[in-house]
Amino acid sequence: MAKEPVRVLVTGAAGQIGYALVPMIARGVMLGADQPVILHMLDIPPAAEALNGVKMELVDAAFPLLKGVVATTDVVEACTGVNIAVMVGGFPRKEGMERKDVMSKNVSIYKSQATALEQHAAPNCKVLVVANPANTNALILKEFAPSIPAKNITCLTRLDHNRALGQISEKLNVQVSDVKNVIIWGNHSSTQYPDVNHATVKTPSGEKPVRELVKDDAWLNGEFITTVQQRGAAIIKARKLSSALSAASAACDHIRDWVLGTPEGTWVSMGVYSDGSYNAPAGVIYSFPVTCRNGEWTIVQGLAIDEFSRKKLDLTGAELTEEKELAYSCLS
Amino acid sequence: MAKEPVRVLVTGAAGQIGYALVPMIARGVMLGADQPVILNMLDIPPAAEALNGVKMELVDAAFPLLKGVVATTDAVEACTGVNVAVMVGGFPRKEGMERKDVMSKNVSIYKSQASALEQHAAPNCKVLVVANPANTNALILKEFAPSIPAKNITCLTRLDHNRALGQISEKLNVQVSDVKNVIIWGNHSSTQYPDVNHATVMTPSGEKPVRELVKDDAWLNGEFITTVQQRGAAIIKARKLSSALSAASAACDHIRDWVLGTPEGTWVSMGVYSDGSYNAPAGVIYSFPVTCKNGEWTIVQGLAIDEFSRKKLDLTGVELTEEKELAYSCLS
């Protein structure tokens, strides 16, 4: 017997990431090949015609799993009954804008979307914030939607996690599916810390630590980190547009592993409400290594943190605390 | 034991359709969730940096099925060893261009790509031409790659087929997965004939003919046809860009059904080398209803063609014959 459809909201759906994301959702990449979906797509009024064009294309693709499409500029209609919310919409940084201005615009958006979600989403709705500043947008959403469990509000660092896997696979010339257990700590920004100290590669003679195989600590502690941190800018330089394909794909991975569970022996990176694990600041959205089971994430505890890593974890934590203060100052 | 990777070429890969298509291929939408793939991506030198950006994003997405990516401006490198070729690259019509100019540019492109494919692709390579004028580009490719079996060279009318299914599903307010066996006859242009005379809908009381359920022949013979024929323009009007998402999805459906077979009792539409079935002109690429089995397509024979349909089939056939003559005149 076919499953009941799951309702998935995508905000900012008329944009680049939305356009890459919706066909992935409609094909079952996000929730499985046997899970029917209904798409809710939200964007702002200037994008209404383009959004309707996306809806038309979704109809034109005759996706077997897609059991309905709602395209709207009304946030209440968009949020009604949704089980999953992927928040791609936000105010992009424009040339000449100060950090405070970007923060201020986004804080307003996420405060109002928090209310709509809280009042209209289905119970236990899982939320993924993609729009930057992702961690702080997610925090604002959490603060202004108090009846949504804090554990249900996350932000995307899976893109950085996947980028780190990709860099290791290229360095070692191995299949990316044989690399696992990198960690992205902290903020989805240039202070993120891509950590390979617990990452492994599957080889003919079993799982081996990445550090052992790479044999180049200078690269792992230097260029590897900056490459992953700055990869977004590198994509923009090459494409003249930001990463839509890989961001959309990572959003699907984030939700899929959260809902369907992580494979045995494997963790992933998710920006989640911090409980102070690993001495990260509590009360911010901080990216940790997590496993997922029965629709719940759990921080992987007990991993050794060396001195080099400690400094990196603290640096990105300090930035998140500053962002939280800046966000709150925008609201008062 | 894991399958050997299949090598898939996408030409024009730095463009909009390519960007939508490559993540679909990398996720198994085209060849199945258990079929590893290697992507060969080709574009022209001005797009080399953007193409490399796409390659970077494919690495960043850490797709488990994607076992390699080749990004190149060299047609020989691109074609080497490919098992499936999706030809998205072509010369787009620009404002002020005459039909003869567009045809002339594309004929040159497809003549040279024919040589590269013939000399370097794997034996039994399956070819799908997407770039417009799709049918005639495919014909030119066939004519200049004589060692590629004519049956291996096809063009995309699955997008129109899927659009027709979508329009019927919206008209009847049924799930698109319950509608089947529409037919797109002829040219992927405004003379295409979307035919519902043999289409059915799965209802609680069994399969019912579309005509019987719609009860509106004026609509089926009028607005329905023109809506499907002109849908591309409607998408451009709404999005200010042409249909990338739905075209990419249809390309995946076309190849998947060709390689893995059509479901029992269901046919699809493909532009194939005409043998004169249904009195269509022989020796052009004409869209027919086909079933697929063991990697081969077969035209569904014996379907009744009424007088209204006969005129439509002939009209689009005449246009294809004219395009063939125009194409040849461009070459001499």
Choose, from A161, A188, A198, A254, the residue flagged as catalytic: A188
The CATH code for residues A157-328 is 3.90.110.10
Q: Encode pLDDT of B92-106 as tens digits.
A: 877 778 778 888 999
Distances (CA, A) of B162 to A39, A62, A91, A271, B262: 19, 5, 35, 39, 14
Cα–Cα distance measured from residue A71 to residue A19, given in angstroms and rounded to the nearest whole number: 13
- Report the alpha-carbon distance of residue A163 to residue A155 in Å, rounded: 16
Q: How many CB atoms lie within 10 A of CB B240?
A: 10
Nearest-Cα distance to chain B for A158, in Å, is: 9
The alpha-carbon gap from A99 to the nearest alpha carbon of chain B, in Å, equals 27
At residue B221, φ and ψ (nearest 5 deg) are -95, -5
How far apart, in whole angstroms, are the C-alpha atoms of residue B250 and residue B269? Answer: 11
| Residue B120 buriedness (CB in 10 A; 0-12 / 13-18 / 19+) | middle
Distance CA B39, CA B122 (A): 14
Look at A235 and B24 and tell me if their CB atoms are within 8 Å.
no
In chain B, domain spans: 6-155, 157-328
Closest residue in A to B179 (Cα–Cα) = A62
* Contacts with A165 from chain B: Cβ below 8 Å: 62
What is the identity of the amino acid at A110?
Y
**Annotated binding-site residue? B17:** yes
Are B60 and A166 a contacting pair at CB < 8 A? Answer: yes
Work out the minimum CA distance from A87 to partner chain B, whole angstroms.
Answer: 19
Q: How many CB pairs under 8 A join A and B?
A: 135
Mark the binding-site residues of A for substrate, compressed into ranges: 93, 99, 132, 163
Residues in chain A: 332
Q: What is the pLDDT of residue B102?
A: 86
CB contact under 8 A, B231 and A60: yes
**pTM of the full predicted structure?**
0.97
d(CA B215, CA B212): 5
What phi and psi, each to the nearest 5 degrees, are found at residue B130?
-105, -40
Tokens 């494979």 -> residue:
A263
pLDDT given for residue A102 in this prediction: 86
Q: Which two tokens stand for residue B130?
A: 């997407």
Q: Which of B152, B310, B160 is nearest to B232 (CA)?
A: B160
The answer to whether the Cβ–Cβ distance between A176 and B59 falls below 8 Å is yes
Shortest alpha-carbon distance between residue B203 and chain A (Å): 16
Which CATH code, of 3.40.605.10, 3.30.70.1350, 3.40.50.720, 3.10.150.10, is assigned to B6-155?
Answer: 3.40.50.720
| Contact (CB<8Å) A62/B162 | yes
Phi, psi of A65 (to 5 degrees): -85, -15
Q: B169: which 2 tokens?
A: 């599903």
Q: What is the pLDDT of residue A85?
A: 98
Q: How many residues does chain B have?
A: 332
pLDDT of residue A97: 81
**DSSP state for residue B232 in the 8-state scheme:** H
In the beta sheet, which residues pair with residue B268?
Answer: B290
Q: Given an 8 Å threshold on Cβ–Cβ distance, is B60 in contact with A159?
A: yes
Kind and range of the H or E run holding A317: helix A307-331
Contacts of B250 in chain A (CB under 8 A): 61
pLDDT computed for residue B154 by the predictor: 98
For testing contact with chain B, the best of A37, A60, A181 (most B CBs within 10 A): A60
Beta carbons of A239 and B53 less than 8 Å apart = yes
What is this model's ipTM?
A: 0.97
Q: Which residue of B has its CA nearest to A58?
A: B246
Q: Which of A21, A167, A245 to mutate to test the interface with B (most CBs of B within 10 A)?
A: A245
* B6-11 and B37-42 beta bridge pairing: parallel
Summarize pLDDT for A61-78 with one digit per residue, the tens.
999 999 999 999 999 999
* Average pLDDT of adjacent 10-residue blocks, chain A of 332 residues: 93 98 98 98 98 98 98 98 98 80 91 96 97 96 97 98 98 97 96 98 97 97 97 94 96 98 98 98 98 98 98 98 95 82
Per-residue pLDDT tens listing for chain B (332 residues):
689 999 999 999 999 999 999 999 999 999 999 999 999 999 999 999 999 999 999 999 999 999 999 999 999 999 999 999 999 999 887 777 877 888 899 999 999 999 999 999 999 999 999 999 999 999 999 999 999 999 999 999 999 999 999 999 999 999 999 999 999 999 999 999 999 999 999 999 999 999 999 999 999 999 999 999 999 999 999 999 989 999 999 999 999 999 999 999 999 999 999 999 999 999 999 999 999 999 999 999 999 999 999 999 999 999 999 999 999 999 87
Q: Which residues does chain B have within 8 Å of residue A22's beta carbon, measured at their own beta carbons? A: 245
**Known catalytic residue: A40?**
no
Q: Are A293 and A199 in contact (CB under 8 A)?
A: no
